[in-house]
Structure 1
Amino acid sequence: MKTLLVLVTFLTGLAVNSQSSYQKGMTKAFETWANKNQDEAVNLFERIAKAEKENWIPYYHAARILVVTSFGLKDAAVIESRLKKAQDFLNEAKTFSKDNAEIFIMEAILNTAYVASNPSKYGMTHSAKVEELYQKAKVLEPENPRAVLYHAEWKMGGAKYWGKDPKVFCPEIEKAILYFEKVSSHDEPFYPKWGMNQVERVQQNCN
């Protein structure tokens, strides 16, 4: 009995230390990103992902940095390189979490980045992917605020491109706000929670 108790205590200690190491590493990666060291943060998330094994979240955040920072870049080769690497990270994430709304949303934004960078090259091939990915995410999580907000922004962009009124999608933004406000806490501290700070930017299409 005493031997069993010692073993349980030992294993519990290992689990706590492992969790602490993961949390410290993730916190450092987020701080590095906040300090504008994007590529270093990507490397940190990638190292954590490889050490953690079967955890999709570090791969997700590594991809997220590459996708978000690709918007606004001018060099086509750099954009494609970053988005390809981001897709590789998301593919890794999907091996651990196959039907995951958050991964689908990030993949939709990744494909949006392709379209935004070169509409004539990627518009026809990637637009359908964007719509399909948002639909998949919303089937899994109809009240996911990121799915609702960014899908609305995507449809607004399409409406403007085709000379239609983007304001018809403004009620979707109001829904997203409600979903952000009611979103439940998650056991995983680094589970995606971002997006509320982008509502005002997307709402500019409603003015």
Structure 2
Amino acid sequence: MKKIILSIAVVLISLVSMAQKPEYYQTMGESLGEYANCKGVADFQALGNKFEMIANVEKTEWLPLYYHAHCYILMSFMEQDAAKKDSYLDVAEKSVNKLIEMAPTEAEVFVLQAFYLTGRLVVNPVERGQEYSGLVGQANGKALAIDPSNPRAKMMKIQMDMGAAPYMGLDPKSFCPQAKELLASWDNFKPKSPLYPNWGKDQVAGIVKRCE
């Protein structure tokens, strides 16, 4: 009964918020819809800059900054040039740091920090692996401590465990059951509002496919 009441309360709060700030919700909804049309660095940069403009107007809302950083992190994974990768991550880092100040109790913020730190690691795994793998683990650990059910935090943990497995004398595929379980239960997790992050299912599906 308590869970039902809590769920109803969350829905009502979301509806009230949407009624109070209809332009913000409409603009954010339209911008989030543009993710599906992004095919390259330029597309994500344009979208990221749009989220930055929203953040400059809606200074008390953390989600525009979240998606601004998310776009630039994705750009770093698409880019081949190491210097450009880092330059995109420099932009993302500023928003991630602001997010931590604005929403220190949101698990999604620390998942994004872990994602950003993974981007830094990927630029130069040989030189950065030892330092950044630990930082990624710390950030994602904070996310799981806040919300152990967060699917993106679980996905990051599986990816880290699989990556570290060979160095621990383990078979990366020993984590495949966890990935399959996560994929099967992914849609059971309900974001706090329609604007909250819901990415990651495709990545988990990719892990599961590689396990076959």
* TM-score normalised per structure 2: 0.82
Instruction: Provide the C-alpha distance between the structure 2 equivalents of 1:59 and 1:179, rounded to a whole number of angstroms.
Output: 28
Equivalent residue runs for 1:29-40 within 5 Å: 29-36=31-38, 37-40=43-46
Aligned length: 192
Q: Secondary structure at the match of 1:82?
A: helix
- After superposition, the Cα gap between the structure-2 partners of 1:16 and 1:60, relative to the gap in structure 1 and judged at 3 Å, is closer
CA RMSD of aligned residues (A): 2.1
Matches within 5 A, 1:103-118: 103-118=109-124
Do structure 1's residue 28 and structure 2's residue 30 form an aligned pair?
yes
Asked whether the 8 Å contact 2:191–2:197 carries over to 1, the reply is: no
Letter aligned with residue 24 of structure 1? Q
Q: Is the 8 A contact 1:149 1:172 kept in 2?
A: no
The question of whether the paired residues in 2 share the 8 Å contact of 1:166 and 1:205 is answered with no
Displacement of 1:68: 1.9
Per-residue CA deviation, residues 7-35 of structure 1 (Å, 9 max, x unaligned), is xxxxxxxx878622112221332244332
- Structure 1: which amino acid aligns with 2:209? Q
Unaligned runs of 5+ in 2: 1-16
| 1:71 corresponds to which of 65, 68, 77 | 77
Check if 1:124 corresponds to 2:162: no
My pick for the range that moved more, 146-155 or 162-171, is 162-171
**Residue 111 of structure 1 contacts residue 129 of structure 1 at CA under 8 Å; is this kept in 2?**
yes
Gaps of 5+ in 1: 1-14
Output the CA distance in 2 between the equivalents of 1:16 and 1:156: 41
Rg larger in structure: 1
Q: 2 CA distance for matches of 1:59 and 1:41?
A: 12
Alpha-carbon shift at residue 138 of structure 1 (Å): 0.9
Deviations 1:1-59 (A, max 9, x none): xxxxxxxxxxxxxx878622112221332244332221111111011111111211110
